[in-house]
Every structure is written in C-alpha cells, then in structure tokens.
C-alpha cells in the first residue's frame, strides 16, 4: 500500500496498481443484515434451504449492493495520503456484477488509480476497483 506524504504527489501514481486488500468472508449474518437494512429479502440472499435446492452455488449469494458497499472498507486503505483531512465519495462511473458471490466465500479488492484531476482545492481520483 502506498503511503504518500503530500496530495500533490498522488498524480504520479496514475496508471499503477495501488494494492490488494486483505481477504474478507461474506457470511450469512452480513447478508441478512443487508436484507433487513434495504428491504431486499429475495430468497437467493436469505433462504438457505431453497438456495441449497435451487441455486447453482448450493447456497445463498451476497447482494450486489453489499459487495459495492464494501469499497470504502476494502479499497480506501490501499492509498494513504498524509496531508489529507477528509475524502468524499463522488460516485461510481460503471458497476458490473460479473459473478455471484456465494455466502461463505472470501473476497478482496484490487485498486488501480486511473486518473487524478485537480479541482475545488483537492484532487478528484478515479480508481478501478476489482473484486476477486
């Protein structure tokens, strides 16, 4: 993980992979909590018996938005800038869910810095985050 002393040095990292997070297990309790928080109780996420019988994974799968919500936790620590006092999430440019994440599996995030544009007294960073 790069530790950068000054924000002005971040653009030198454009085009480089910043690192890979630790592994994190996606357990059923987390999926159930997301179902309760979002109201998305679709059986593929919460019904263990039906998922065992009907899902190709033989288990429930994580909500796509659960995985997306883990970007700050898993990917943000992959770049530390010492003179930054706050960061803001500007949004997502493109999100694709290319594979199911079976409950009980482990994921990690890989972060590559695509751009760093000056503006509003700071930098707008665009990163590519890939979950494995």
The single residue listed with the structure tokens 């482990």 is 106
Helix (H/G/I), strand (E/B), else coil: 121: coil
* pLDDT in single tens digits along all 132 residues of the chain: 778 999 999 999 999 999 999 999 999 999 999 999 999 999 999 999 999 999 999 999 999 999 999 999 999 999 999 988 888 888 999 999 999 999 999 999 999 999 999 987 789 999 999 999
| pTM, 2 dp | 0.89
One DSSP character per residue, 81-102 reads ETT---------S-----S--B
Residue 27: count of CB within 10 angstroms of its CB: 13
Helices (H), 25-92: 28-38, 43-46, 48-54, 64-69, 71-75
């Amino acid at each position: 993980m790069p530790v950068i002393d000054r924000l002005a040095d971040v653009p030198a990292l454009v085009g480089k992979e910043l690192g890979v997070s630790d592994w994190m297990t996606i357990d059923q309790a987390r999926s159930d909590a997301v179902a309760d928080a979002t109201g998305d109780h679709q059986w593929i996420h919460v019904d263990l018996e039906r998922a065992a019988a009907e899902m190709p994974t033989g288990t429930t799968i994580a909500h796509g938005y659960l995985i997306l919500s883990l970007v700050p936790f898993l990917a943000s620590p992959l770049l530390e800038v010492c003179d930054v006092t706050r960061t803001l999430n500007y949004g997502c440019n493109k999100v694709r869910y290319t594979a199911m994440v079976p409950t009980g599996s482990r994921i990690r995030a890989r972060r590559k810095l695509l751009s760093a544009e000056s503006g509003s007294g700071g930098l707008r960073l665009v990163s590519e985050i890939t979950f494995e």
